[in-house]
Structure 1
């Protein structure tokens, strides 16, 4: 029987380039050579596609594979660009469809849907360059809704890129201006002290339509109170599964992650991030494309229930080809 030819996309022109390389490498390392012929499709920071070390057009690269596993975190890999290209080429791929992936990537649009679904999230305000108010007025509007500290996030970045904290109201206008100049839009959330948690989700797994992996507890390096891109890139985060959350908290985390996945109509798999306080659990975001790189939470959660990375990739390929 001929082996399935699997194209693995990695790299790309987003700020998560390094993490994408690592996720792509992890996929290539764990694809069973008995079942698959892998094709390493590298996309450089300028968006040029490469196959076997040579520049190629996207369509030429895709014409040589049967199915695609997308390791492109952020940017075109998650904003629907690559998904639309794959659909145009008629190549099945694992992961959410273009519109759903783009909605999950956009923190503002996702929040609007998730809050309408009754999911508790930190209070927030958001602004764009089109808003005809000064950053000082934006700060006053935010302060009227909730007090500092404030977490300032670019709406279309992941892996903690671009996140800043304004400890005092006086700091907020300048930080808003910087974020708007760089990203064109900004999300301002209330700062909540809590324990970081995450839940991985897999569709049509272990006889469940949507299977929730056991919640992971994430600890940051000593002295840090906010996640930083270097924590992901350097593998300095510690993910503990099983976690020390109560049974009730674990059930709530898993149920809420499922609710978020369904609210955004995501496909195949996802990864939800939370903050757990003594009395409440807040959803921070849900990612359509989980990180599979060494040190990420998703592989730890898989391992905790006896699922190897190779098994997960087998299942992902099956989902891609049969849905």
Structure 2
């Protein structure tokens, strides 16, 4: 499947998807399309429409940019792409109305730029594993477990990492006895953050400061996922650390730290603050001004979380640094925001690896990794 080193690497960028983070994924694709060295890579852009239709997308970043007033979307009416599911035939095939099928040939590596369910959660990774296709990022297990905030916290706690108090509300529990579910949440105190268990980009999250708002917040989260996680608010600075898999047998590498501070107009670092606000609303600092001992602890914990989850390629690990110096792990993101202004690339830029070089490194890690069980 791999080509001689003199040939460009054929890379399929897969983006869009069925999750509520469709537009964020498109924005990520715009950035990567723009940054790829076309002498080094032959690019095959593959979009997944909101209805799950796979299409051959235009190699043009402009329509995919996320800006105030414009949420990009994959055009589901474009030519269909049929993806391989067999190790004996790994070619991409294009079907277009009124035309005979045509082959796009094989690709050397897939860069899944999907966020949220039906892409970041192990589903796409499993499809690629079926065909022995190499891809950037974590495999099925780590992707699925880290996508589910309830399972993620279970794994991290089992590894001895500190997580904050939380309650899980399953679909069955909520339909059977709402009152009991709300009583369990009230035991956390207020305020709390009510979240879809398997979503990202702060979509569907509500900060609740009064008991009267709890039921509505759970229902809002359930619009995105029938499984809900409610977390007690943790007082502390929001500190993040980027992790890259080590080359060969080397250990994972931790980046400089970053800090997110909401300055104005938002109760917390929500979707609008992340993607549509300016510096007047949110301040992202890299490297973060963190005491050396705390910074060392956070980097060590980030690596421990990466390894405990069985992550590969990349991850962003989010923490709370409390006033007394204690550190709490908040989340592990196996496909973090990946535009140049996103925290993961910013942290690696502060560490000495620029955006294009970061993409090159992730592709190289994917090509080194064997297919199948590992």
What interval of TM-score do these two structures reach, taking the shorter chain for normalisation?
over 0.9
Compare 197-206 and 93-102 and name the one that shifted more.
Answer: 197-206
The answer on 1:55 being equivalent to 2:60 is: no
Correspondence for 1:154: 196
Q: 2:169 aligned with 1:127, yes or no? A: yes
**SS of residue matched to 1:214:** strand
CA contact 1:49–1:57 (8 Å) conserved in 2: yes
Partner of 2:335: 289
Match of 2:35 in 1: 30
Contact 1:135–1:177, Cα closer than 8 Å, also in 2: no
Length, aligned pairs only: 322
* Partner in structure 1 of residue 11 of structure 2: 6
Residue aligning to 2:348: 302
Mapped to 1, the partners of 2:163 and 2:261 lie a distance apart of 20
**1:184 CA drift (Å):** 1.4
State the alpha-carbon separation in 1 of the partners of residues 353 and 221 from structure 2. Answer: 40
Cα distance, 1:224 vs. partner?
A: 2.3
Q: Structure 2-normalised TM-score?
A: 0.81
Partner residue in 2 for 1:316: 362
Change (3 A) 1:197 1:94: same
User: 2:296 maps to what in 1?
Assistant: 251
Aligned-partner Cα distance in 2 for 1:63–1:103: 33
- How many angstroms apart in 2 are the aligned matches of 1:254 and 1:186? 29
Residue 251 of structure 2 aligns to a residue whose secondary structure is strand
The Cα offsets for residues 183-215 of structure 1, whole Å up to 9 and x where unpaired, read as 212111111232111100001159942100011
Question: 1:304: Cα distance to partner?
Answer: 0.6
Cα displacement string for residues 104-144 of structure 1 (whole angstroms, at most 9, x for unaligned residues): 00001111111111111110111112127522222222333
The answer to whether the Cα contact below 8 Å between 1:200 and 1:213 also exists between their aligned partners in 2 is yes
Change (3 A) 1:192 1:265: same
Q: Which runs of 5+ in 1 are unaligned?
A: none
Change in 2 beyond 3 A, CA 1:235/1:178: closer
For the Cα contact (< 8 Å) 1:41–1:50, is it kept in 2?
A: yes
Q: Provide the secondary structure at the position in 1 that maps to 2:245.
A: strand
Aligned match of 2:240: 198
CA distance in 2, matches of 1:18, 1:172: 28
Q: Structure 1 residues 309 and 182, CA, compared in 2 at 3 Å: closer, same or farther?
A: closer
Unaligned runs of 5+ in 2: 1-5, 59-78, 85-91, 94-103, 370-374
User: Distance between the aligned counterparts of 1:205 and 1:225, measured in 2?
Assistant: 40
- TM-score, normalised by the number of residues in structure 1: 0.93
Q: CA RMSD in A?
A: 2.0
The answer to whether residue 301 in structure 2 is matched with residue 270 in structure 1 is: no
1:209 aligns with 2:233: no
Q: Which has the higher helix share?
A: 1
- The runs of 4+ residues in structure 1 deviating greater than 6 Å are none
Distance in 2 between residues matched to 1:116 and 1:179, nearest whole Å: 26
* Superposition deviation, residue 272 in structure 1: 0.8
